[in-house]
Structures are given as C-alpha cells and as structure tokens.
Structure 1
Amino acid sequence: MVLKVFFPSCCASAESGILIGRWISEQNSAVILAVIHFPFIPVQVKQYLSEVQRVTKVSVSVLGSWSNSKWEKEESLSEFLEDLGTIFSHEPWIQISKEGDSKFWSCSTLQKNSNNPKEEEIILVYYDQRKVMLSHLHPPLDTAASTDHKAEDASKLSAIFDTVAKSKILFMTDRYDDGPIKLTHWQSDGIEASIIVELMKQASVPACMLLTFLLSLVSGVCRSRKANIFVSLLIDVALGLLLISWLYRKNRIGHLADTLIPVADHVAEELQDLLQWLMGAPAGLKMNRALDQVLGRFFLYHIHLWISYIHLMSPFIEMILWYVGLSACLGLTVALCILSDIIALLTFHIYCFYVYGARLYCLKIYGLSSLWRLFRGKKWNVLRQRVDSCSYDLDQLFIGTLLFTILLFLLPTTALYYLVFTLLRLLVVIVQGLIHLLVDLIDSLPLYSVILRLCRSYRLAAGVKFRVLEQQDGKPLRLLMQINPLSYGSVVQTYRLPTYSCYPKDSWTSLCKKLFLGELIYPWKHKGEKQD
C-alpha cells in the first residue's frame, strides 16, 4: 500500500527533531504540521500536544523523526532518532532525512509491532503550509456531471486542508518563545519577522494604510457573503458620491431640468402625430372609421391632459431633481432606482394607453373564443374548469352570430392600436429592465471574492495539482502540491449575492402567449404572484 507523507516546504531547512502532525488512517496518509527541535523533554511534548488536541479537536501526535545532516554531524543521531519511536509510540514511525546539500531525500518507515513488516512505497508531497491554511477548498460546482471518484478525491483533499486550517493554535508558538518547546512551521520566525512589514506600513501613504485597514477588517471580521456585501456597499456609496459631485458641478441639475420639459413636449407631439396617422389609413389598411375616431380622440384627450400636467409641474421640476440628486449619497443603486421611477412617471400616459388597448383587445379575444365555442355546441364549465357539450336554441345561435360578426370586424382596429401601444410599452419596459439589471449587477457581483481571486488566487481553491520534483529508483517519489484557483466564472457563480430581481420571471413562451391574448405584463411582478 502507498504511504503518502505531506511535508511542509517551510520545514525543509529545519534543524533535526521530531515530526508532529495528523495520521489519517483511512487514506494511509500523514500530514506533517511542524518540527520540534532538540533539546526537549518528552513529557512536556506530550502535554503540549494534548493541549493542542483539546483546543483544535485534531488528533495531533508525533509521527516520526526528521534529520537534517547539514546541521547535525553526529553518527549516533540516527540511532537516537530511531529510539524515539519507543517513547512516542506511533505505527508506522516515519523517518525523513536530508542528505546535506544534495537534492535527494530518504524516507523510510519502522513498524516494530508488526510481525510481518512490509516495505511500503512512499510518496513525499511538499505543500505550502500558509497557502493551504488560508485557502478554502470548494466542492465541484457541476455535481451532476462529477463522478464518484472525483467526489472521493475531493473528500480526501478536504481532510488535508481541514487539518492544516484547524491547527492555527499550533502555529502561534515560534522558535523565539521562552517556552521549552521550539517549533518550525510557516510562522516560526514569529514577531521578529514582521518588523519589516510594520516599517513598510508606517512608511506608506495614508491611503494605503486606510486600504490595508479596510481589507484587514473585511477579511478578519467578515467572511465570504458578509465581506462581499460590505465591499459592494462601499463601492456603491463611492459611485453615488461621484455621481453627486458630477451633478452639482457647473449647474448640471438646472440644465437637466431645462431639457426635461422640451423632451416631454416632443414625446407628446410625436404621440399626437402617431395617433393622427392611426386615425387615417395606416399602411393602407381600411379601419372601422367610427371606432377609429372614438379611440383616437380618446387617446388625444389623454395626451392633452398629460401636457397640462407637465407644464403645471415645470416650476417645481428643478427643485425635485435637486433633492432627488441628494439620494445618490445612499448609493448609486438608490439613484438608479429613483431614475427608473421617474421614467415610469414620465411615461405614465404610455402605460395608460397600453392598459386601455390591452383591456379592449383582451375583451374581444375572449368574446370571440367564447362565441366560437357556441358555434360548435360547446361551453366552458367554470366549476370543473373544462369544455363541455351544450345544446343552444335558435335565438341563442342568432344572437351569437351577430355578436361574433361585430367583434370580428372590429378586431383589426383594436388590434392595431393594441400593437402600437404595446410596442411603446415594451420599449419603456426594456429601458427600465436595463436599469434594474445594472442595479442587480452592482448589488449581486461578489467584488471582494473577485479581488481576492485576482490578488490571492490560492485563497479560493478549486483543487490541487501535483508536479514531479524527483523520481529515482530506491528513493521516495517527491511531488509538489500546488493549488488550482477557482475560475472567475466559478467565483461569480459561487459567491453571487441574492437579489430581488425586478425583471419578468416568465418564460418566452408564456410572455408571447400573454401578448397575444392581451394580458397585462407587469415587469415588477414575480412568477407565481397573482396578476389581474
């Protein structure tokens, strides 16, 4: 059976001592966490490991010995290291030694309690202890396509990552402490090694210090989702303040208010021209003149009401825009949502035209469908929600024929008005939908995770890859374990924040069906909610 030994690369130059770590019997693997140097007292080592095991809930023990011949020249050292196996009873006892400046290592195991000791094939895997401790191993996103073999490999890797991540208390002891135990691990240089970093912080500009403080605050206090929310909120407010500084500079609010009234008048004039075109012979189509004139004058009257309303509000528009612009201090998304509401108010007459046309068209469609069932001797059973057979007398058939003929010949005129105003309404809905998509993008984009993937890709691990360092007969296979970071698409998919989306949730088939039948489309409604 293959024995896998995960050895931290930071301990490659450590002085001789004993190896402490976790033995994973299910995988026949040993995860080395640190090296305890000579001299030490075995009783104190056992007490220290029991305390670490109590705090971390990880079964940390002495797994073997480490010999660095570059530091130790005594011939009796190897015999002494073998004798330590009787004090710290662990099966198998792992012995790793480095042959001076040579690149070759020797790794062997001792099984004193076994009656039939077997020579095991050993694979020595180096890993970056700091990166493994700080990284978070993500499961495969496509669980349906992942095989059982991949899931098993992911569980094995997660056991190794969890072992290193839960052993943070072990890395707080460095070789400069006054205690009786001296350790070598990724943080063994202790506080003294961070003096240069602290000097660089003091010499940096205040903006860099503020950025470092915010990043440490986010990474230390917040995790994943909370960190993404915090960064998104920070950027949202910053963009809002930039918008405020742009709006209130050079009296852009006044220019915007002066432009708004002529634009509204121009839109009203274009609608009047469109209605005049519909009241004639649009595209050479012969319409029902009486109904065409009634509908055209009805909509023209609403346009005149709308123009009067706009001119009545014109003295207050600049003041309204001035106060609305201040809402951007709450974030760019707040300003965009208010902009969407302003567009809805400015196009309220278009919405009214769409509702009138849709209701009239829907009434005729359902009337024609009901009268068509009458011709076939059918009727709609409301209680059972199905079509049943029914016998009609001559008077009912005569009246049904008259109504069907009237509705059928009036349908083209109504359908043309409905088509035109539906296209206008869809244009407004598309503009509002783009605004809401931008709001959702700002609110849901995991900016902190994306920045973390860009700057420290090892923090978001999708898996590992192994690179062969040494492969020679009689020597253990030496591999280097490297972290495979998550792709940017997987980062966005995994850490995307949930939002209340305001765009339609219906499928394209359902949307086309509603448009054909004349049912109202509410872009702010969710699928499954009751609609009139």
Structure 2
Amino acid sequence: MVYRSSRITAMVLKVFFPSCCSSAESGILIGRWISEQNSAVILAVVHFPFIPVQVKQYLSEVQQVTKVSVSVLGSWSNSKQEKEESLSEFLEDLGTIFSHEPWIQISKEGDSKFWSCSTLQKHSNNPKEEEIILVYYDQRKVMLSHLHPPLATAPSTDHKADDASKLSAVFDTVAKSKILFMTDRYHDGPIKLTHWQSDGVEASIIVELMKQASVPACMLLTFLLSLISGICRSSKLSTCEQLGHRLQHLQVISSNKKAQNQTQLMRKANIFVSLLIDVALGILLMSWLYRKNRIGHLADTLIPVADHVAEELQDLLQWLMGAPAGLKMNRALDQVLGRFFLYHIHLWISYIHLMSPFIEMILWYVGLSACLGLTVALCILSDIIALLTFHIYCFYVYGARLYCLKIYGLSSLWRLFRGKKWNVLRQRVDSCSYDLDQLFIGTLLFTILLFLLPTTALYYLVFTLLRLLVVIVQGLIHLLVDLIDSLPLYSIILRLCRSYRLAAGVKFRVLEQQDGKPLRLLMQINPLSYGSVIQTYRLPTYSCYPKDSWTSLCKKLFLGELIYPWKHKGEKQD
C-alpha cells in the first residue's frame, strides 16, 4: 500500500527518522522541530558518553552556521546493545535537562525489526495523547536530492504546492545541515554522532589543492574568453555565432563565482557535459574525415556537383525564357531577366573553377575545426552551403526587390484612382485630389506595371522556392545545433542513473499498521519525469526560431519582402 504525501495531515505527530541510524548505539536524538506541521525531523544520534553542556554548545554553533534550529528532540535506546533498566530511566531523565516538549522516545521492540515510538510531556499540566506516525527516510538520498516545485500547468496545483511546501521543510532541513554531518562516531571530539556519513566523510586533499590552484587560471581564462567572444559576436556567420556561444559557456564554467542555488549548479554541470559530448562527437567526425582520404574524395565530388547545379539552373532559365507551362510572358522583359540571371550563373561557374585547385586544402583546414565540437562543424557546413548557393540568394534578392517594387507601385497607383494617398508623417491613408495629368500618367504606369507583373512574379516565385529549399536545409542543420546546445545531458544522465537527485515529490509505503501502535511508513522519492527534466533544465541557445507567424510569413512572401528566418529576435531585418 502506498500513501501519497497528502494523506499525512497535521493532526498527528510525524517523526521523520533516518533509516541509517537504525543500528546506532543508544543516545539522544537531535534534529529540528517544525511546530506548524507538528513534525520532528531527526538528523543524527548522539552517543554516550557525553556532557549535556557540550551538546548544547555544539548545537548552538551548528545553528549559527546552518541557520537551522537544531535541538535535542528525544532519546534513542538500542536494546540489543544496552539492556539495563536503568538506561531507560536515565534517558527519560534527559528530558528534564534538555526540556523539549514533546520528548520523543524511540526504542527497540524486542525481536521486531521495527522501532517503537512514544512521547513524554513532563512539563505539561494537561498531557494529551497524540497519534504518532514514524516515517523512515533515506538520509543520503534526501540530502543529495533537490525537491522541485510542481509545474504551474499541472492539475490540482494548490494541493500539490501545499504538499511540496511541507516536504520542502524536511528536505531543506537535511540539506542545510551539512556541517552537522562532518562529525561522526570516529571523530576525536567530545561529540560522537551517527548519520548518513558515519562510515567516513569523503574528502580529497588533491581536489582541494586543484580548486585553490584553479582560481587564478580561471580568472585569466575568463578574461581571454571575453575578448575572443566580443570578436566573434561582431560577425554574422553561423560559425562565429556558435563559437561566441560556446565561449560564453566556457566563461560560465571557468568562472570562480560560486553557484548561488541548485539551478545554477545544474546549469554549469549541463554546460560542461554538453561541451564534452560536443567535442567528443567533433573528434569522431574529424577522425572519420581524415581516414581513407575522405577529404580528397569530398573535394573531387564538390566541383561536379556545383557544375550540375549550375547546369540545372541554366536549363530552368532557358525554360522560363520560352513559354513556361504554356503561359504567355512579356518577351522583352523575359529575355532581359533570363540573360541577366544566365550571366550571373556564368560568373559563378568561373568563380568555382577558379577556386577548384584550393578546395581540397580549404576542406582539409576546415575539417580541423571539428575538434572544437560537432556544432561548430555543422555551422561551418551551413556557412559553406550559404556560400555555394550564393547565386541562388542573389537571384532571390533581385527577383524579390523587382517584384516588391511593382507590388508597391501598383498599390500606390490604385490609391491614386480612389483619390487617396499615403501620408508618410502620420503613417495613414488620407484623401487627396489629383488633376487630369496625374490621373493620365498614373493610368499609364498602372497598365504597364500590371502587364509586366506576371513575368516578374514567375521569376520571383521560382527563385523564392529555390531559396526556401536552401533555407530549409540550413534550418535543419541549425535545429540539430540547437538540440545539442540546449539538451540538458547531465540532468538526463542524472535522472537515468540517480533518479532520486531530481525529486518531484515523495510517496509513503506502509511498513506496519497495527492498532495501538504507531503507524510506520517508508518515505520514497518520486523522481521528475524526463519531459519535466528537459523543460526545467533546458539550456538557452543563441539562435532563434522565426518570430513571425505563418500569416505574417505568407504576407511577406506575397508582398515580396525579404525573409531571413535565422534573424534574432529584436534584430532589425534589412
């Protein structure tokens, strides 16, 4: 049977007991009392012998550092090790020394594997009997885990937020008590404790020395990276933007500023793992490229492919200069546009053949950039595609500008027929009276533009489709780059290997339920779902999806306005 966190109400006394202390020697229980929830969070067991004054002094020092009101909450009796009746009486007398109400007493129940729990109220005139729920929890998992608040879009958010706030008090109490866990039963001091690190506190002097030595190195590296990042941001090439983005990641990792919370710590870890995997994939790609002379084969195939694309464009232009799909075009304009674009293709072929002796060497040096990461290599591929299809981009710009000029000319002349004009200062359409000469010239120009529009529109349509094809290929490459940049790989690996580190809540499993005895529950951590992990820890990327809606995009295509889907938000489009 499993109890959700909402089943435990504030009408009973809840004692959260760490399962790691079940074999501890007899002593006293120290922890935090949460009065608003009527709950006690046990953190450790103090062993005999001890001096009460030293215990109080030690707990006051812990409170000053952790800001957690740690106190002695009760006594702990392990009957396997101590069987004298005087021990139980002595443990009860400790309640008068530390004077905590209620005084919690936990002891072994004969041969049972569970522990009995009762309360003692010596200083109360009207002692009341309370129902007790003893909750066992894994202190190590609670200590290392981070409790996430429920998503705002989830149903019954108010109840889940209330449960999460109650549980967060337990999680925060354990997480903030790190200094308490630095002392264990092997410590030479007067206070000997049992807790989740009782087998020994993990430490490494080598790691500490490396941390101290890395501070000046990180400061120097951060300064150099800031300079290089400023240079990369001045360029609009995808490669430079990706390098600038990765340099910012390196600045975050190399910064000696300590993370303020769990989110910043996870962001650093996600960036570090993302960089490692990105570089590892880039090195694998580089080793594949330089094996079996694949760079030379790629250079040999690049020129024929470029020639083939140029020939196909020439055939397309020849088709447009005739009667495409049986449409009757304006022959004079058709010939002018066709020859204009054919001349550009001729220039492009000449440029490619001029560069052909150096292409293999260029590719050889470009391949070395894969050691900077797979994303850098993909951005270089996107820039190479942009350079190889530069003539298609020029055709699109020429066709779009010519088409846009005619569309705006026709719309302006159409307002002339209706006695309207565009007011530039007030950005609106106002009434206006025109004389006969203006109307005659306007009619003549409107007729000319209207009959030339189909020819221009056909060229614009064809080259826009070619441009969109190139943009789709580049968009797919940038989507892959964004996926590698933004995927929180460390959080996903942590969710896969140590799911308790990313807690979405808890569930309670009933261990024993008998009349007249405390209800014994086992608190288990519910991990975040993989979708919530990605949504919570997704890293921001430098590139952006088109800020225009599909309606706005279609409107721009119809009006002939230039479209740059890779433009950043808030950046002006030329």
Same fold, TM exceeding 0.5?
yes
* 1:22 aligned counterpart, secondary structure: strand
The alpha-carbon deviation at position 314 of structure 1 amounts to: 0.7
* 1:276 aligned counterpart, secondary structure: helix
> Which segment is superposed worse, 352-361 or 362-371?
362-371
The CA distance in 2 between the partners of 1:475 and 1:220, in whole Å, is 69
Counterpart position of 1:474 = 516
Q: Contact 1:70/1:101 (CA < 8 Å) preserved in 2? A: no
The CA distance in 2 between the partners of 1:141 and 1:348, in whole Å, is 46
Change (3 A) 1:199 1:332: closer
Change (3 A) 1:466 1:519: same
Q: Contact 1:105/1:476 (CA < 8 Å) preserved in 2? A: no
The CA distance in 1 between the partners of 2:323 and 2:390, in whole Å, is 27
Change (3 A) 1:220 1:153: farther
Change (3 A) 1:411 1:495: same
The alpha-carbon deviation at position 104 of structure 1 amounts to: 4.8
Query: TM-score w.r.t. structure 1 length?
Result: 0.92
Per-residue CA deviations over 1:27-84 (Å, capped at 9, x if unaligned) read 1111000111222221221122122222222111100111222332222332221111
The CA distance in 2 between the partners of 1:354 and 1:243, in whole Å, is 34
> Which segment is superposed worse, 486-495 or 130-139?
486-495
> Which segment is superposed worse, 246-255 or 129-138?
246-255
The CA distance in 2 between the partners of 1:217 and 1:360, in whole Å, is 42
The CA distance in 2 between the partners of 1:240 and 1:44, in whole Å, is 59
Per-residue CA deviations over 1:384-427 (Å, capped at 9, x if unaligned) read 11111222222222222222221111111111111110010011
Per-residue CA deviations over 1:453-507 (Å, capped at 9, x if unaligned) read 1111111111111111122211111111111111111111111111111542322
> Which segment is superposed worse, 382-391 or 112-121?
112-121
The CA distance in 2 between the partners of 1:221 and 1:82, in whole Å, is 72
The alpha-carbon deviation at position 14 of structure 1 amounts to: 2.0
The alpha-carbon deviation at position 280 of structure 1 amounts to: 1.1
Q: Contact 1:257/1:321 (CA < 8 Å) preserved in 2? A: yes
Per-residue CA deviations over 1:136-180 (Å, capped at 9, x if unaligned) read 111123268563332222122111111101111211222222333
Q: What pairs up with 1:489-500 in 2 under 5 angstroms?
A: 489-500=531-542
Change (3 A) 1:416 1:492: same
Counterpart position of 2:67 = 57
> Which segment is superposed worse, 478-487 or 110-119?
110-119
The CA distance in 1 between the partners of 2:230 and 2:331, in whole Å, is 74
The alpha-carbon deviation at position 219 of structure 1 amounts to: 26
The alpha-carbon deviation at position 8 of structure 1 amounts to: 0.4
Change (3 A) 1:439 1:221: closer
Q: Contact 2:286/2:367 (CA < 8 Å) preserved in 1? A: yes
The CA distance in 1 between the partners of 2:226 and 2:56, in whole Å, is 35
From 280, 287, 308, the counterpart of 2:329? 287
* 2:203 aligned counterpart, secondary structure: helix
Q: Contact 2:150/2:504 (CA < 8 Å) preserved in 1? A: yes
The CA distance in 2 between the partners of 1:222 and 1:24, in whole Å, is 54
Change (3 A) 1:297 1:203: closer
The alpha-carbon deviation at position 26 of structure 1 amounts to: 1.8
The CA distance in 1 between the partners of 2:313 and 2:432, in whole Å, is 47
Change (3 A) 1:196 1:74: farther
The CA distance in 2 between the partners of 1:399 and 1:205, in whole Å, is 76
> Which segment is superposed worse, 54-63 or 271-280?
54-63
Per-residue CA deviations over 1:264-319 (Å, capped at 9, x if unaligned) read 00000000000111111111111111111111111111111111111111111111
Q: Contact 2:182/2:201 (CA < 8 Å) preserved in 1? A: no
The CA distance in 1 between the partners of 2:370 and 2:84, in whole Å, is 74
The CA distance in 2 between the partners of 1:281 and 1:78, in whole Å, is 106
Unaligned runs of 5+ in 1: none
The CA distance in 1 between the partners of 2:43 and 2:289, in whole Å, is 58
Change (3 A) 1:319 1:204: closer
The CA distance in 1 between the partners of 2:210 and 2:450, in whole Å, is 83
Change (3 A) 1:502 1:339: farther
The alpha-carbon deviation at position 376 of structure 1 amounts to: 1.6
Q: Contact 2:74/2:104 (CA < 8 Å) preserved in 1? A: yes
Change (3 A) 1:221 1:471: farther
The CA distance in 2 between the partners of 1:219 and 1:394, in whole Å, is 62
Counterpart position of 1:163 = 173
The CA distance in 1 between the partners of 2:374 and 2:140, in whole Å, is 38
Q: What pairs up with 1:361-400 in 2 under 5 angstroms?
A: 361-400=403-442
Change (3 A) 1:273 1:130: same
Percent identity among equivalent residues? 97
> Which segment is superposed worse, 112-121 or 332-341?
112-121
The alpha-carbon deviation at position 366 of structure 1 amounts to: 0.9
> Which segment is superposed worse, 183-192 or 303-312?
183-192
Equivalenced residue count is: 531
Change (3 A) 1:178 1:106: same
Change (3 A) 1:259 1:520: same
* 1:434 aligned counterpart, secondary structure: helix
* 1:126 aligned counterpart, secondary structure: strand
Counterpart position of 1:355 = 397
The alpha-carbon deviation at position 202 of structure 1 amounts to: 26
* 1:192 aligned counterpart, secondary structure: coil
The CA distance in 2 between the partners of 1:222 and 1:179, in whole Å, is 57
* 1:20 aligned counterpart, secondary structure: strand
The alpha-carbon deviation at position 112 of structure 1 amounts to: 2.3
The CA distance in 2 between the partners of 1:55 and 1:373, in whole Å, is 77
> Which segment is superposed worse, 99-108 or 127-136?
99-108
* 2:378 aligned counterpart, secondary structure: helix
The CA distance in 1 between the partners of 2:90 and 2:12, in whole Å, is 27
The CA distance in 1 between the partners of 2:382 and 2:537, in whole Å, is 27
Q: Contact 2:78/2:108 (CA < 8 Å) preserved in 1? A: yes
Q: Contact 2:509/2:523 (CA < 8 Å) preserved in 1? A: yes
Unaligned runs of 5+ in 2: 1-10, 234-266
* 1:119 aligned counterpart, secondary structure: coil
Query: TM-score w.r.t. structure 2 length?
Result: 0.85
Change (3 A) 1:145 1:107: same
Q: What pairs up with 1:343-492 in 2 under 5 angstroms?
A: 343-492=385-534
Change (3 A) 1:99 1:222: farther
The CA distance in 2 between the partners of 1:239 and 1:92, in whole Å, is 60
From 85, 110, 113, the counterpart of 2:95? 85
Q: Contact 2:151/2:157 (CA < 8 Å) preserved in 1? A: no
The CA distance in 2 between the partners of 1:454 and 1:443, in whole Å, is 20
The CA distance in 1 between the partners of 2:25 and 2:499, in whole Å, is 32
> Which segment is superposed worse, 507-516 or 425-434?
507-516
Q: Contact 1:64/1:85 (CA < 8 Å) preserved in 2? A: yes
Change (3 A) 1:450 1:277: same
Q: What pairs up with 1:10-89 in 2 under 5 angstroms?
A: 10-89=20-99
Change (3 A) 1:316 1:207: same
Q: Contact 1:68/1:100 (CA < 8 Å) preserved in 2? A: no
* 2:444 aligned counterpart, secondary structure: helix
> Which segment is superposed worse, 320-329 or 496-505?
496-505
Change (3 A) 1:325 1:394: same
The alpha-carbon deviation at position 203 of structure 1 amounts to: 29
Q: Contact 1:450/1:492 (CA < 8 Å) preserved in 2? A: yes
Change (3 A) 1:215 1:360: closer
The alpha-carbon deviation at position 244 of structure 1 amounts to: 1.5
Q: Contact 1:436/1:502 (CA < 8 Å) preserved in 2? A: no
The alpha-carbon deviation at position 125 of structure 1 amounts to: 0.9
From 111, 121, 126, the counterpart of 2:131? 121
From 150, 153, 162, the counterpart of 2:160? 150
From 151, 155, 159, the counterpart of 1:141? 151
Does residue 189 (structure 1) correspond to residue 199 (structure 2)? The answer is yes
Q: Contact 1:453/1:486 (CA < 8 Å) preserved in 2? A: yes
Change (3 A) 1:456 1:423: same
> Which segment is superposed worse, 486-495 or 126-135?
486-495
Cα RMSD (Å): 5.8
Change (3 A) 1:495 1:197: closer
Per-residue CA deviations over 1:119-145 (Å, capped at 9, x if unaligned) read 112111111000000011111232685
